[in-house]
Amino acid sequence: MAIYCLHDDILKIKNKELNKDDILTFDDGHYSLYKYRELLKEKNCRKILFLTPSYVQMNHRTEEPDLSIYYQWDYRMNGKPQWLTIYEVEELVKNYNVELGMHSYYHDLVYVKGQTEPERMWRMYKISTDKNKMKILCKMYDIKSALCEQGYTVLNGYITHRNYDQFTEFIKSDTYLCWKWFKDYFGVPNTYAYPFFQGSIELDNELFKYGIKKENIFGKREHINNAKEKER
């Protein structure tokens, strides 16, 4: 059995041979999953969409987004949503045998000392729309999940240390909001995938309170491009 995480790379399953006990997972809730949804019918294996509720669009789609600019700085600055609508999520569940799981409510991040890769500069949009300032910050900080490490956060446009109480309170708030959203719209969830594949003991303990079992908490999963082809 292999567990794959595809994010917005659904086209990569088109010619991929999968076993019945493999699991396809899609984090965040990118529109590409809906656009190429017919590919899901060809794969007779478990499929889980780990949704971030704060990304989900709660109205009907008025125009199809340009998928070629996803994760680019210009997309983040222009604010053109490339996330699924709640109606598209409903159709994926109803007609394409897609399960839903939690992927945090905000998918928020904190900064840690280190070297950030240049292509990840888009993450700095939470601090500033000044491109030069973002370049400087990228040389000083890397990012991690806000549910994984205390780290440094943004306060009034400046990086500031986050204490342990702020860290744990964020975990409680984010988890509750995520669980409540799922309960209200799709029923009580029973699976969870860490944002950025990064978890913590504090997050696990909070998830246990909501009935999420350890075996249903997903961390790092295989990238479908790096996996060995199945033997025929």
**Average pLDDT of the chain, as a whole number:** 87
In angstroms, the CA 85 to CA 57 distance is 4
> Hey, which residues does 222 pair with through a beta bridge?
4
In angstroms, the CA 37 to CA 42 distance is 10
| Sequence ranges of the domains in the chain | 3-107+164-218, 109-161
- Among residues 170, 33, 61, 9, the alpha carbon closest in space to that of 105 is found at 170
pLDDT, residue 178, reads: 98
User: Do the Cβ atoms of 192 and 103 come closer than 8 Å?
Assistant: yes
pTM higher than 0.75 for the full model? yes
- Position 77 pLDDT exceeds 80: no
pLDDT, tens digit (0-9, with 9 covering 90-100), for 116-157: 666 566 566 555 667 777 777 777 888 899 999 999 988 877
What confidence category does residue 227 fall into, taking pLDDT thresholds of 50, 70 and 90? very low
In angstroms, the CA 91 to CA 84 distance is 11
- Among residues 31, 154, 158, the alpha carbon closest in space to that of 86 is found at 31
What confidence category does residue 62 fall into, taking pLDDT thresholds of 50, 70 and 90? confident
Place of tokens 């986050």: 162
Share of the chain above pLDDT 90, in %: 62
What lies within 8 Å, CB to CB, of 144 at 6+ separation is 109, 110, 111, 112, 151, 196, 198
pLDDT, tens digit (0-9, with 9 covering 90-100), for 37-57: 999 988 999 999 999 999 999
Residue bearing the bigger pLDDT, 232 or 1: 1
How is domain 3-107+164-218 classified at the architecture level of CATH? Alpha-Beta Barrel (3.20)
pLDDT, residue 231, reads: 33
pLDDT, residue 120, reads: 63
